[in-house]
Amino acid sequence: MADLGNPKQTIEVIKQHQFAFQKKFGQNFLVDSHVLGKIVRAAQVTKEDVVLEIGPGIGTLTQYLAEAARQVVAVEIDGNLIPILKETLKEYHNVTVIHNDILKMDIKQLAKEYHEGKPLKVVANLPYYITTPIIMGLLESHAPVGQITVMVQKEVADRMQAEPGSKDYGALSLAVQYYAQVYLAANVPPNCFIPRPNVGSAVIRLDRHKQPPVKVKDEGLLFALIRASFNQRRKTLQNGLNNSPEIPYTKEQIGEAIKSLGLPAAVRGEALTLEQFGKLADYFGVFEGKEG
């Protein structure tokens, strides 16, 4: 099968199968062999790896992954792509295509079935409408997932890498940085896809931390604080937390906790580092019912 990583072959396959793009599935197929090579290199795929690919499309990236990996398990939601994948991937005996919604899959079970429970490497040109649930799902679940190398919107890549005080800094930056180190592998312009997306894209790699960089007594409370702080970005941290139904402390207790960090009373959530959010969460532990 010819390399699909160019406009000519991709258009040919699409025409031959009379495939109609479905916007609702975030279908933007890669047609640039240079970018495809970069993704596989950024993911450091070797013959030891079992790769989980999310959304193989017509199988373009899948072919590149199959050359480099021991095994590729590709999960595709669009039933119209399944017969196409059968055709484009027929020469690759180390590829399994599963027709399903990735958000409904049991990743632990997949790792068990295809890699004796060992971590899977995730590599994907993600459907942009569900980037955050996919990435957060992979990071938060206790499923065996190693490195994650994915194409996302440039704006989302910027948010993941953002530092306190910048306009892109928010709940996503903190959540991703709690679990992983973020590397930018490439910026990718719209003309590398068919159809062209309206926004720029970027390939990022998330290397999971062995231990979170911040140790807290109550992880659930840490994430509740982060969510509450950025839900009302324009408000002070104290008011944001006080207004949140997720945060069970009084305004005075919140004020006391902020003061304990040596921060000004009118500080906004966007100024706090992950470490400061961690300290805040642990400080709340001194109040009734939240000990230890």
Residues that bind ligand SAM (CB under 6 A): 25-30, 54-57, 60-61, 75-78, 81, 101-103, 125, 127, 130
Give the nearest distance from C-beta 19 to ligand SAM in angstroms.
Answer: 10
The residue whose Cβ lies closest to ligand SAM is 55
Give whichever of 75 and 175 is closer to ligand SAM, judged by the CB atom.
75
Give the nearest distance from C-beta 207 to ligand SAM in angstroms.
Answer: 22
Give the nearest distance from C-beta 22 to ligand SAM in angstroms.
Answer: 7
Give whichever of 50 and 102 is closer to ligand SAM, judged by the CB atom.
102
Give whichever of 54 and 214 is closer to ligand SAM, judged by the CB atom.
54
Question: How far apart, in whole angstroms, are the C-alpha atoms of residue 246 and residue 131?
Answer: 25
Give whichever of 32 and 219 is closer to ligand SAM, judged by the CB atom.
32
Give the nearest distance from C-beta 184 to ligand SAM in angstroms.
Answer: 18
Give whichever of 29 and 169 is closer to ligand SAM, judged by the CB atom.
29
Give the nearest distance from C-beta 245 to ligand SAM in angstroms.
Answer: 30
Which long-range contacts (C-beta less than 8 Å, at least 24 apart) are formed by 66-71? Answer: 66/92, 66/94, 66/95, 67/40, 68/40, 69/45, 69/94, 69/121, 70/94, 71/95, 71/96, 71/114, 71/115
Give the nearest distance from C-beta 124 to ligand SAM in angstroms.
Answer: 7
Give whichever of 143 and 263 is closer to ligand SAM, judged by the CB atom.
143
